[in-house]
Amino acid sequence: MSLVVQKFGGSSVANIERIENVARKVIASREAGHDVVVVVSAMKGETDRLNELAYGAAQNTTPRPREHDLLLSTGETVTIALLTMVLERMGSPARCLTGAQVRILTDSAFSKARIQDIDAESIRGDLGAGRIVVVAGFQGVDENGSITTLGRGGSDTTAVALAAALEADECQIYTDVDGVYTTDPRVVPTARRLEQVTFEEMLELASLGSKVLQIRAVEFAGKYQVPLRVLSSFQDGPGTLITTEGQNMQQGSMEEPLIAGIAFTRDEAKLTMIGVPDTPGVATQILGPVADANIEVDMIVQNISNDGLTDFTFTVNKTEYDRALDILSQQAKVLGAREVFGDSSIGKLSLVGVGMRSHAGVASRMFKALAAEGINIQMISTSEIKISVVTDEKYLELGTRALHKAFELDDRSGKTVSVEGQSD
């Protein structure tokens, strides 16, 4: 008998009818002879609703982190109770557990807690007694007994962490699309489902904006070698398997595909300091105070110097934009810089593929395709398996479509993917 962990996201449990659909899938796996641990998210839109309530209560202040997490965690608690009731009604013995009841121990970093340890014993006991175990995603408990949450999309991470702790045979992430696509199929309807994608590529895609899997879930799966698959809750199919490199050879081909996919994000903002003296230590004087304020910096560009002066540009998460701009304005006075300005309406577009390692010319093909659409590139950064560019936010979707075409990623079968409803 094998053990599977199955995770169902918000749109898969959006109402009782859909919860019944989930229950039927879970029971089918059970009847096929598997032990099943189910992880569920809050019902679609519920986490956003709870979040709005928190901000309403806090008015012009930030919601208190401990209470904010406790509040947000309740969305998942509702779903585990409902699914368990439905499973029992359908004749399948089941037991639900919150993160704290399992004892998913996390650190105390509210809203972005990290899992430190999982006590798998009570789950094993229930499985041994023939029950389906239903666990609340996204939540844990710290050593003081406070409820924590794992960051938006965190139920994916709960599922993978449980699969690792239970040494499950597979972790299946059921969602509203039938796998990982070459890009977000809501933006490019001709996007193609990938049979397989490597952990390395998936990690880049997730960190560069593809929200189909939370990045920490991919990290966990890679680290603990958890076989991970993304599938649809609404239609049958093989989905997408996340693999280690080397397993990823396409059938009949000895070569890895050049580009696995395209990710994009609107989550960043750009800050620039103009006319800073080009002397040793200037980068640390600019970025040191930003780091001290716990603001993460992503891309960094320094121009060549002109008359001993240079310009310095970097990006941060949009939520940190105002704070970063304040710090930069302060530092500009210290450094005697000419001017500081920022732009929060930018987008970042990234090509990802392990095949890039052995192929030259990817960047020039990318820049040519963007130029043909009249899209100006503001910043560029590269690593071994990705190239990212910053553009004006309004060109993000046009740029994604142009690159999808230029790199011949379109589905050639002529079929377009149907995605369920709108995302949360």
The residues near 397 (Cβ < 8 Å, ≥ 6 apart) are 187, 264
Distance of CA 168 to the CA centre of its chain: 22
Out of 99, 153, 154, 353, the residue judged to bind Mg ion by CB under 5 A = 153
Q: Which stretch binds ligand ASP (CB under 6 A): 146-154, 324-332, 339-347, 375-383?
A: 146-154
CA dihedral 322, 328, 331, 337 (to 10 degrees): -140
Q: Is 272 in the site for ligand ASP (CB under 6 A)?
A: no
- Classify residue 344 by burial, with Cβ atoms within 10 Å: 0-12, 13-18, 19+: middle
**Which residues ranging from 145 to 164 are in contact with ligand ADP (CB under 6 A)?**
153
Q: Which of 63, 99, 140, 154 binds ligand ASP (CB under 6 A)?
A: 154
In the block, residue with structure tokens 């949360």: 424
Residue 212 labeled ligand binder: yes
138 binds, among ligand ASP, Mg ion, ligand ADP, none (CB under 5 to 8 A by kind): ligand ASP
| Tokens of residue 270, six digits | 């750009």
Least Å distance between CB 175 and Mg ion?
Answer: 7
With contacts defined by CB under 6 A, how many residues of the chain interact with ligand ADP? 22
C-alpha pair distances (Å), 148 with each of 5, 115, 157, 295, 303? 22, 10, 14, 22, 43
The reply on whether position 342 binds ligand ADP by CB under 6 A is: no
Is 8 labelled as part of a ligand binding site?
A: yes
Please select the residue that binds ligand ADP; options are 36, 180, 332, 403, rule is CB under 6 A.
Answer: 180
Six token digits for residue 389: 């560019």
DSSP result, 37-79: EEEE--STTHHHHHHHHHHHHHTTSPPPHHHHHHHHHHHHHHH
Which residues, 23 to 52, sit near ligand ASP by CB under 6 A?
41-42, 47
Out of 153, 261, 275, 342, the residue judged to bind ligand ASP by CB under 6 A: 153
Please tell me whether 149 is known to bind a ligand. no
Interface ranges with Mg ion (CB under 5 A): 9, 153
- Contact positions toward ligand ASP, by CB under 6 A? 9-10, 41-42, 47, 75, 137-138, 152-156, 424
